C-alpha cells in the first residue's frame, strides 16, 4: 500500500431515488407475452422501477437532496457537482449542469461536469475526485449517478427488458476530520477495449447520428442497448482473478479485512458466478438486483446506500466497491467508511 493510494476523504451522506412507476416481474412477463414467472425465474428480478415522467436530472436532484440531508449540510454547502452516469439526459449540456438547475443552484456558479465510464462511472468519479477533496480543492462534492436505462431498451431483447431498472443515487464526499479514520485505501481501474463491442449502444452519437431521415425499423435498433452477455462474462472471468490478486497485493487487504463487497448489479446469474469465482461468502455480498434491476452506474451507489441504511456497514468498516462496465472496464475501490 503506497501513500499515493490513501485519500483522507469521508462519505458524509448518501441518498437514493426510485421512480414512481414500479414494475413487478409478472408485469414484465405480461408486457413481453411470457408465461407468468418467466422473468423471476430466468432473470431473477422481481421488481424494478421505470421512469413515468421523471427526467435523469430530476431523479438525480431527489437523490442529491437526501444525500445532503444525510450529510447534515445545506445544498448551498456543495462546491462541486459531478454527474457519474452511463447515460446522458441530453447530448449537450452535461447532465451535472441540469442537476444543478433542478437543485435550485442555477445562479450559484458551482462547477458541474460529468465523468463517464458507463457502469463504473460512480467508482471512477469517486476515485478521481477524491484526490481533489483530499487536497482541499473542493470541500463538499456531490457525486450523482442517475440512469434512465428504460429509454434505450430493445423490447425484442427480452432478457435486457427484464433486467434493467431506472433510478438515481448520490453521495456527498468531504475531507476526513483530523480525529477520524475514514479514507479511501486503494482503487484500481482497468480498461480492455477489445471488449468494447460486447456491450454497447452503437447509434445516437457522432458515428451514427440520430438526425437521419427515414430511419428504417432495421437501423432503429442501433439506437438501443446491445449486450453479448456470454462473451462479456467469458472475458470478465478471465480478467478478474488477476485484477483481484493485484488489488489484494497492493492494498494489503484481503477479503478477511472487508466487511462487505458492493458489486455492480450486472445480472443475477453474472453476479452469482462472479461471487463464487472470487470465493466471496454470501453474507459479505450486497445483492439488490432482485428488487432494483441493473441500474447502470446507479447500481453501486444505490447498493451502498442500501447497505448503509440496512446497517450492514458502520463507521470503521472496510468496504469494497467492485464492478465491470462496457468498455470493457473493471474497477475496484476499497474504503474505510
Kindly list the catalytic residues.
119, 264, 294
8: contact with its own copies by CB under 8 A = no
152: contact with its own copies by CB under 8 A = yes
**Which residue number, 289 or 296, has a Cβ lying nearer to its own copies?**
296
- Out of 106, 180, 181, 231, the residue judged to bind its own copies by CB under 8 A: 106
Taking the C-alpha atoms of residue 332 and residue 311, their distance in angstroms, rounded to an integer, is: 22
141-147: strand order across its sheet: 9-17, 167-175, 141-147, 80-83
Min dist CB 314 to its own copies, Å, is: 29
C-alpha cell at 75: 445544498
Min dist CB 236 to its own copies, Å, is: 13
Determine the size of the site formed for its own copies (CB under 8 A): 81
Binding mask 28-67 for its own copies (x = CB under 8 A): ---------------------------xx-----------
Q: What is the dihedral of CA 56, 59, 61, 63, to 10 degrees?
A: -130
Min dist CB 219 to its own copies, Å, is: 10
For residue 318, which of 236, 259, 252 has the smallest C-alpha distance? 259
- Out of 181, 196, 231, 249, the residue judged to bind its own copies by CB under 8 A: 196
Give CA separation, 304 vs 260, 265, 319, in Å. 10, 11, 9
Under a CB-based contact definition with an 8 Å cutoff, are residues 306 and 286 in contact?
yes
Taking the C-alpha atoms of residue 286 and residue 290, their distance in angstroms, rounded to an integer, is: 11
161: contact with its own copies by CB under 8 A = no
The region of 35-43, 83-91, 156-164, 287-295 touching its own copies under the rule CB under 8 A is 83-91
Amino acid at each position: 500500500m503506497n501513500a499515493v493510494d490513501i485519500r483522507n476523504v469521508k462519505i458524509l451522506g448518501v441518498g437514493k431515488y426510485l421512480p414512481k412507476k414500479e414494475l413487478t416481474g409478472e408485469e414484465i412477463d405480461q408486457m413481453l407475452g411470457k408465461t407468468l414467472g418467466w422473468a423471476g425465474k430466468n432473470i431473477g428480478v422481481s421488481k424494478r422501477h421505470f421512469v413515468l415522467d421523471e427526467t435523469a436530472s430530476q431523479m438525480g436532484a431527489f437523490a442529491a437532496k437526501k444525500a445532503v440531508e444525510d450529510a447534515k449540510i445545506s445544498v448551498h454547502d456543495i462546491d462541486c457537482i459531478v454527474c457519474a452516469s452511463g447515460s446522458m439526459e441530453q447530448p449537450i449540456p452535461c447532465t451535472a449542469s441540469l442537476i444543478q438547475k433542478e437543485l435550485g443552484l442555477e445562479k450559484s456558479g458551482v462547477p458541474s461536469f460529468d465523468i463517464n465510464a458507463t457502469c463504473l462511472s460512480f467508482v471512477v468519479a469517486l476515485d478521481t475526485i477524491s484526490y481533489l477533496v483530499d487536497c482541499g480543492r473542493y470541500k463538499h462534492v456531490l457525486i450523482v449517478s442517475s440512469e434512465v436505462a428504460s429509454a434505450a431498451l430493445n423490447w425484442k431483447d427480452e432478457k435486457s427488458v427484464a433486467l434493467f431498472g431506472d433510478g438515481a443515487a448520490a453521495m456527498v464526499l468531504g475531507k476526513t476530520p483530523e480525529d477520524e479514520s475514514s479514507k479511501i485505501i486503494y482503487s484500481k481501474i482497468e480498461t480492455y477495449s477489445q471488449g468494447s463491442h460486447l456491450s454497447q449502444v452503437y447509434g445516437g452519437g457522432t458515428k451514427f447520428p440520430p438526425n437521419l431521415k427515414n430511419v428504417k425499423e432495421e437501423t432503429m435498433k442501433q439506437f438501443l442497448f446491445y449486450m453479448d452477455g456470454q462473451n462479456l462474462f467469458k472475458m470478465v472471468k478471465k480478467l478478474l482473478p488477476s485484477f483481484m490478486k493485484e488489488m489484494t497485493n497492493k492494498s494489503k487487504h484481503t477479503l478477511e479485512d472487508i466487511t462487505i463487497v458492493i458489486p455492480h448489479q450486472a445480472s443475477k446469474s453474472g453476479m452469482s458466478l462472479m461471487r463464487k469465482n472470487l470465493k466471496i461468502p454470501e453474507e459479505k455480498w450486497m445483492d439488490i438486483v432482485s428488487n432494483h434491476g441493473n441500474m447502470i452506474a446507479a447500481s453501486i451507489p444505490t447498493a451502498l446506500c442500501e447497505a448503509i441504511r440496512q446497517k450492514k456497514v458502520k463507521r470503521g468498516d472496510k468496504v469494497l466497491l467492485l464492478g465491470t462496465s462496457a468498455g470493457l472496464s473493471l474497477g475496484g475501490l476499497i474504503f474505510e467508511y
